[in-house]
Structures are given as C-alpha cells and as structure tokens.
Amino acid sequence: MTRKIALLLLALTLPFAGCDKIPGLKNLKKKPVAEATPEPVPVAVAEPVVAEPGAPVEPPPPAIDTRAQVVVLCYHRLEGKAGGALSIEPALFEQQLQKIKESGAEVVSMQDFLAWRRGEKNIPPKSVVITIDDGYVSGYDVGWPLLKKYGYPFTMYVYLNYIEKGGKSVTWSQLAEMRDAGVDIGSHTVSHQDLRRKPSKGAGDYETWLKDELERSKQVIEEKLGIKCATLAYPFGLHNDKVHAAVRAAGYEAAFTTYGARLGMTTDAMTLGRYDVTTKDARGTDSFTVAISFQGMAAPGGAPVMAQDAAVSTITEPLNGEVITNPTPTLKVNLATMGALDAGSIVMRVSGLGAVEAQYNEASKNLSYTVPNPLRPGGYTVIVGAKSKGRPVETRWSFTFNPDGASAPADPAAELPARKKR
C-alpha cells in the first residue's frame, strides 16, 4: 500500500520537473519514433553539351610523316662573278627557285623544319629549306625580293663582325625589316672563324674564345631583333665533338654544315648538312641539281656525321631511288664528302648480299663493286660504313632492279635506322 502511494506521488510530480533533474532518468534513452518517409526528390539529368555553331573545336594532333626528307640549300652572295667563288648570278638564282617549284618539292621555313623534328608539325614528303650565309646585302636587296615573288621562306645566317660594316654588308634595320616579314635569322658566330681551333691572334684560351663566338652572337641577335636565335651555321661548315658540346651548351637547337645530304627526322641536330649551290660533286654535277633530285646520300639517323672539310655533294651509281634493268650493276660512290677516312675500315654492304669486296681508290675517293651474279628483281639498299678519326660514320642509298624498268617503290632507306659500326 505504501509503495503504491509513493508511485502515485512520483507520477504527479513528472509534469513539473525536467527529466535531467530526476536521478536515474538522465541516462535513459528515448524510444525512437518512426519518421515519415520523405517524398522522393527528382534528380536533374545533365543534357548533352552541344557546341555552339562556329565555336572553336580542339583540333586532333597532327599526323607526322616520319619518313619525310629535307634538303637544305646554302647560298652566299647573289651578285654574279663580282661576288667571287661563292657567288651566283641573280638570274641563275631565280632559275633555281623556278626549278624547285617545277620539281614538286615544297619550300618550308626553318621553324617548320624544327617543329617537324620535334614531332609537333607535319611537313611535305619532300621539303626544301633555303639559307643565305654571311650577311651580304645582296640577300636583302636581291634574294629577298625574288624569294617573296615565289612565296618561299628562308633563313639569313649573319656573323656579328660583318653587320653594318658598310659596302656590301647588311644593316640591323634591314634585318629587322626582314624579321617583321617572317624571315628567320640565325647565327654564323661573331668573327666567322674555324671553330675547331682558336685564331693565332687574340687573348684568352680556346674554350673561352669558343664560348664567346657562340654565346655572344646568339645573345646580340636576340637582343637586337627581339627573337629567339635557334640555329647556327658553322663557318666553312667545319666542326667536331668539342664544338658540338659548346653549341648545345650555348642553347642552340640545331647546327648546319656544308655537307650536302638528305636529312631525316632523326639526323643528328649538330650535323645537319646543307648543299652549297656553288659547288660540284666528283662527277661534275652541281649540288643544286643533286639536292632537288632527292637522289643524293641520306644522312645517318641518330649518329652524327663527323667534320666535313670538302664542300661537295656525294653522288652514287645507281642514283638513290633509281630503277635499273642491268642485273649485274656496278655500285659506285664517291666518299670525298665523308672527310678523312681510315681506308682499312671502309665496308660496303648490300641488302641480301651482306659485306662485299668493294674496291677503294684513295686518290679519287671512289668506292666501287660490280655485282658478279644476277640480282633478283626487287629493292636493294647499299650501306657504306667507315671510321673517321676513330669515330664511325655511315651513309646509304637504295635502288630497284626491275628488268621491265617499272617505277621504283618508296625509298626503303628512308625508314631504315642508321647503324653504328662497333
């Protein structure tokens, strides 16, 4: 009875006191109350994004022709016999520009050539780059108007000690005018000396002098013209490994010689060959004709070609890409442009035949081999390797034997990687 009265009194006090004030009830859990089920919320579905008419569309990456080939032409003075041995007549210069047009090859700018080598831009399968060396004013008042007439880009290579010297030298204002029109300007060093050795006059050691020739010429051109000077033309086309290292250290992307060769995407950037149009090869064929025929020697890919003192172009028999009908041809190449070779290291190899017993004439620099047994119809690649000053050098060309004389297939040498001799 007493217990019932106590419970009744407790029940009467609950409405007047909070739960947290009653001992023993503070930690009691409330019984969960079922919540009402929420109404479903509609989910917005994203509509497909449709580009507005005329809106820019991201272009796909360019398809790069890794088998494209490039020949680089080297000019100096465009004033006829008065200009000396490195000069050609303006009329002949225009004739050559017309021949390029008729050949089907396309002239590309230096920047497009470099972008192709970086895999950033495509170029035509047969491309030509035009360069004019030294900084003679004839490049401005003779060469440039004719090149504009044909719509051809080109590069001017200038050396600092000949700019604004009066007479036949170009001025900075003329170079700026050409720059504004899209002409590329490159370095030909400070004093146009053989970079392989320091001149007898002048103070300082060789390394300091070489660095100045390369870095100062680049820096002054960039400061005067507000451009990036990306390439160098070696004076006289002469170079070696030490020069290569200094050129790279100076920040150049590529450097050019006067050793004419068809250039590929992987040709060493420090030994890019050019055809000096005022020279002839050992057979008397002028370098311009060899260049735009795209039948001269192909520069090795990846492995640098050593210093070339001879400014002539190499020609082969059969010509590169030629179709022959003689089943036992004589394979011949003049190696004068490959520099000083160790005669005992020269090896000729023919695809399908291997190393052959070719004969080398040191006086004429001709290497020849007559195929003793009839060839089977098809394509052949000839590879000539040797050592120059202890370093391996190599060149190659291809031809097709077809007794019916049909057209040749694509040049197989263009897709074969160069191999170093071990």
User: SS3 string of 281-348?
Assistant: CCCCCEHHHHHHHCCCCECCECCCCCCCCCCCCCCEECCCCEEECCCCCEEEEECHHHCCCCHHHCEE
Structure tokens at 125: 């399968």
How far, in Å, CA of 145 to CA of 197, rounded? 38
Q: At a CB cut-off of 8 Å and minimum separation 6, what does 72 contact?
A: 128, 129, 130, 131, 256, 263, 272, 273, 274, 275
**133 strand-pairing partners:** 157
pLDDT tens, residue order, the chain (422 aa): 455 555 444 444 444 444 344 444 444 444 444 444 445 444 444 454 455 666 666 666 678 999 999 999 999 999 987 777 789 999 999 999 999 999 999 999 999 999 999 999 999 999 999 999 999 999 999 999 999 999 999 999 999 999 999 889 999 999 999 999 999 999 999 999 999 999 887 768 999 999 999 999 999 999 999 999 999 999 999 899 999 999 999 999 999 998 888 999 999 999 999 999 988 765 677 889 989 999 877 777 654 444 333 333 456 788 777 889 999 999 998 887 677 888 889 989 888 788 899 999 988 888 999 999 999 888 888 888 888 877 777 777 888 899 887 543 333 333 333 333 33
Tell me which residue of 252, 225, 228, 161 sits closest to 199, measured CA to CA. Answer: 161
- The pTM of the full predicted model, rounded to 2 decimals, is 0.66
**360 strand-pairing partners:** 367
Query: CA of 30: how far to CAs of 21, 25, 26, 27, in Å?
Result: 16, 10, 10, 9
Q: Which amino acid is at 341?
A: L
Structure tokens at 61: 């990456």
> Could you write out the DSSP letters of every residue in 189-210?
-SS---TTS--SSSSS-HHHHH
Q: DSSP 3-state assignment of 134?
A: strand
Q: Is the dihedral of CA 30, 33, 39, 44 positive or negative?
A: positive
